[in-house]
Amino acid sequence: MSITIGLMMHCMFSRPWLMLHGALLKVRLDSNVFVGNGLIAMYGKCGCLLEARRALDEVPSRDVVSWNSMVAGYAQNMQFDDALEVCREMEALKQKPDADLLGRAGQVDEAYNFIKQMPVEPNERVWGALLSSCRVYSNMDIGLLAADNLLQLAPEQSGYYVLLSNIYAKAGRWKEVTAVRSLMKRRRIRKTPGISNVELNNQVHTFLAGDTLHPQSKEIYEELGVLVGKMKELGYVPETDSALHDVEEEDKECHLAVHSEKLAIVFALLNTQNSPIRITKNLRVCGDCHIAAKLISKIAGREIVVRDTNRFHHFKDGICSCGDYW
């Protein structure tokens, strides 16, 4: 398990950031705009939005990063009314959202035009946000432009190759998918494997897709099979587009069935009662796992919280807080 994921899990459950904030208050560093922005982003990514808003209010000289961090925090947690209210506050103060926020809102063309008009050269972060938006909204034309810039700026970053490959795969352009994978192979770039983590009794359990190394693997797969049967009774049909592999449909379904978040959720169901299930992922939740988590929350009568690289998903009674828009 990576250090980043380990820290995320620790922060999510034990909240040591409160101690950090307390220390900053003692030395009065929280009023510094850079420290304040860091606190806003940290609280937002941990789902502590009241604390994030309080940190924003305490920053005396807010800049565009301050506001964007707050909007991003609300967006990650699906509190869109609050996000819009912050945008209105920005507008009243003559602050303009940047291209990252336009892309999140689905205004990909506007985001690209904004980037072209920037007075400075857009960096990796800007192009990366645009490429992610192109994947979500299936905008291949701008996605290719963003990917071209990213592969020049960060040729060793596997995530950008994967995003580009996924854009092609969603469009069924498998020759291009193969070409991207071949490029990665030539450059010796490996895709980061998807992992899901769940904490039980102060121990973090990590799962990969198709994992059979966990001591409870047999029980997990048996229970998963039972759940899939119940899900199909409710109308579940595997979303094979999420597999993004040029293989037969049956093979896609088998691959989807053993995604890491499904294994982590079932493990938590087997070992806990009544309390919310909390999962963290190092990648974006795929469409099929999103559907499965909604149905499992309804079947099991449990709240499931999944923190992926984009936001928190709160699944309860067959509904997700994101409204199926992420």
Query: Are 1 and 264 within 8 A, CB to CB?
Result: no
Position 272 scores a pLDDT of 94
Give the helix ranges, DSSP H, for the chain.
3-14, 17-26, 33-45, 49-58, 64-76, 80-92, 99-104, 108-116, 124-136, 140-153, 158-170, 174-186, 217-233, 249-257, 260-271, 287-300
Among 133, 50, 66, smallest CA distance to 99 is for 133
How confident is the model over 254-260, as a mean pLDDT? Answer: 75
Q: What is the pLDDT of residues 162-212, one digit of tens each?
A: 878 878 887 788 888 889 889 988 988 887 788 999 999 889 999 998 889
pLDDT at 88: 82
- Mean pLDDT throughout 300-319? 89
Distance CA 58, CA 32 (A): 9
* pLDDT of 4: 38
Read off the pLDDT band of 66 (50, 70, 90): confident
- Indicate the pLDDT class of residue 242, thresholds 50, 70 and 90: low
Name the pTM for this structure. 0.63
| Edge-to-edge strand list for the sheet holding 203-208 | 203-208, 195-200, 277-281, 304-307, 312-316, 319-320
pLDDT at residue 10 in the model: 42
Residue 207 phi, psi dihedral angles, 5° rounding:
-125, 140
Other C-beta atoms within 10 Å of 114: how many? 21
Assigned token pair, 276: 């919310």
* Higher per-residue confidence, 95 vs 176: 176
Instruction: Please report where in the chains the tokens 């989807």 appear, as a residue.
Output: 256
Q: How many CB atoms lie within 10 A of CB 227?
A: 20
**What would the two tokens of residue 114 be?**
């904004």
Handedness of CA 284, 286, 289, 290 (dihedral sign): positive
More confident residue, 93 or 290: 290
Residue 325 has a pLDDT of 63
Pick from 288, 214, 217, 210: which is nearest to 255 by CA?
A: 210
- Is the separation of the CB atoms in 70 and 99 below 8 Å? no
Q: Which of 40-44, 59-63, 317-321 has the highest mean pLDDT?
A: 317-321
DSSP-assigned letter for residue 192: P
Rounded to a whole number of angstroms, the CA Rg of the chain reads: 21
The average pLDDT across 288-294 equals 92
**CB-based contact 304:276 (threshold 8 Å):** yes
List domains and CATH numbers for the chain.
1-97 (no CATH), 104-192 (1.25.40), 195-320 (no CATH)
The mean predicted confidence, pLDDT, of the chain is: 78
Q: Are 89 and 118 in contact (CB under 8 A)?
A: no
Quick one: pLDDT at residue 73?
79
Please report the pLDDT score of residue 247 as a whole number: 46
Q: How far, rounded to the nearest angstrom, does the alpha carbon of residue 217 sit from its chain's CA centroid?
A: 26
Q: Which whole number is the average pLDDT over 146-175?
A: 83
226: pLDDT strictly greater than 50: yes
Is the predicted pLDDT of residue 52 greater than 70, yes or no? yes
Q: Collect contacts of 14-21 with beta carbons under 8 A, ≥24 apart.
A: 15/46, 15/48, 17/42, 17/43, 17/46, 17/48, 21/51, 21/55
Angle at which helices 217-233 and 287-300 pack, to 10 degrees?
Answer: 90
Pairing assessment for the beta strands 319-320 and 312-316 based on DSSP bridges: antiparallel
| Mean pLDDT for the stretch of residues 37-60 | 82
